[in-house]
Homo-oligomer: A and B are copies of this chain.
Amino acid sequence: MENTIKKALKGDPRAIARLISLVESESTFAHEIMKAIYPHTGKAHLVGVTGAPGVGKSTLVDKIISRYKELGKSVGIIAVDPSSPFSGGAILGDRLRMQQHALDPSVFIRSMGTRGSLGGLSRAAYEAALILDACGKDIVIIETAGVGQTEIDIVRIADTVILLLVPGMGDDVQIMKAGIMEIADIFVVNKADREGADKIVAEVNLMLDIAGERSWRPPVLKAIAESGQGVDDIIRAVEEHRLYLQKSEEGKKRRSSRIRHEVEEILRRDIARIVEKEWEERSSNDLIEALASRRSDPYTEAGRLLEDILGAAENSREVEGA
């Protein structure tokens, strides 16, 4: 394991892939890996790219990768599809297309889908991003398949969040409602040669004006991902936002809130494991029978279990304090 970590930290793609797999599958090595990795993190810039299906996220990410490569930057991509069974196919095709970069050692691409809990996915995506960060990627892009609540939770971990819109989808107003407005740092109206592009740009600008003054005013850019038009503007905006975060109070706040969130998530996962184990041991047929016949209720039983695990801690602390 130590050897794999060493190799990965030097940028070896195979070793990196292995670390991500081990962490994603919650292997017994996961903890060791993340502890070893963590001191090397904090250098990469994490960019989240989100937007409704069909707005051209993958095409744009593709072009962004190419441009970063020309600029001599190494890039890692995590493509996440937490969504309903109905959107499983498309993203796979996109991934295949992105494999044009696969032979380039400076680009690392990784897809992730739902396995089990949704919270687990945003956690896995974040840990993969940390690994890519530690292993020397300058830019880590996290791309989601849609813009549901789960996707918002996932891109929230990024430093800079790009929201893609397109003219004529009729859902622009709904996006505004969904609380994604607050987390987007850069708006991009893609397929800007289509009718209605200027209208969306104006609408978003209006919404941002109404939202009131903020220390970072998200730019609203136009792009045509297919031809690469507008990509330079996007990269420039990302860089500006990065510098802004470095210098501003807002950037500092965002970093500490991310760290807080990290610890909380790890705690939640670890405690959940302990409780699950404890519950498995205790949930006898008798207990289930008592609940089924309504002689007890789940609220009382859950309370009892928790008290046994944590209440004792409370008591002993009181004793210590006495």
A146 nearest in chain B by CB position: B84
A298 near B: Cβ within 8 Å? yes
Contact with B along A12-45 (1 / 0, CB 8 A): 0000000000000000000100110011011000
Which residues of chain B are within 8 angstroms of A266 by Cβ–Cβ distance? Answer: 298-299, 302
CB distance from A64 to the nearest CB of B (A): 24
Which residues of chain B are within 8 angstroms of A31 by Cβ–Cβ distance? Answer: 299
- C-alpha spacing A306/B272, complex, angstroms: 11
Which residues of chain B are within 8 angstroms of A312 by Cβ–Cβ distance? Answer: 312-313, 316-317, 320
Q: In the bound complex, do residue A275 and residue B283 qualify as a contact, i.e. CB atoms below 8 Å apart? A: no
A299 nearest in chain B by CB position: B35
Q: In the bound complex, do residue B267 and residue A84 qualify as a contact, i.e. CB atoms below 8 Å apart? A: no
CB distance from A188 to the nearest CB of B (A): 18
The interface stretch among A216-224, A226-234, A255-263 is: A255-263
The interface stretch among A1-9, A66-74, A95-103, A288-296 is: A288-296
A153 nearest in chain B by CB position: B117
Q: In the bound complex, do residue B279 and residue A267 qualify as a contact, i.e. CB atoms below 8 Å apart? A: yes
A86 nearest in chain B by CB position: B171
The interface stretch among A104-112, A174-182, A198-206, A238-246 is: A174-182
Which residues of chain B are within 8 angstroms of A151 by Cβ–Cβ distance? Answer: 84
Given A114-B149, A288-B256, A305-B263, verify A297-B38 contact (CB < 8 Å).
yes
Contacting B at CB under 8 A, from A69-97, are 82-86, 88-89
A59 near B: Cβ within 8 Å? no
A215 near B: Cβ within 8 Å? no
Q: In the bound complex, do residue A267 and residue B34 qualify as a contact, i.e. CB atoms below 8 Å apart? A: no
Q: In the bound complex, do residue A259 and residue B114 qualify as a contact, i.e. CB atoms below 8 Å apart? A: no
Q: Out of B82, B271, B288, which one reaches A259, CB within 8 Å?
A: B288
Most B-side CB within 10 Å, residue of A31, A86, A262: A86
A61 near B: Cβ within 8 Å? no
Using CB atoms and an 8 Å cutoff, list the residues of chain A in contact with chain B.
31, 34-35, 38-39, 41-42, 52, 82-86, 88-89, 114, 117-119, 146-151, 171, 174-175, 177-180, 255-256, 259-260, 262-264, 266-268, 270-272, 274-276, 278-279, 283, 288, 291-292, 294, 297-303, 305-306, 308-313, 315-317, 319-320
Give 8 A-B contacts (CB < 8 Å), ordered by A residue.
A31-B299, A38-B294, A84-B147, A84-B149, A255-B292, A267-B302, A270-B302, A309-B313
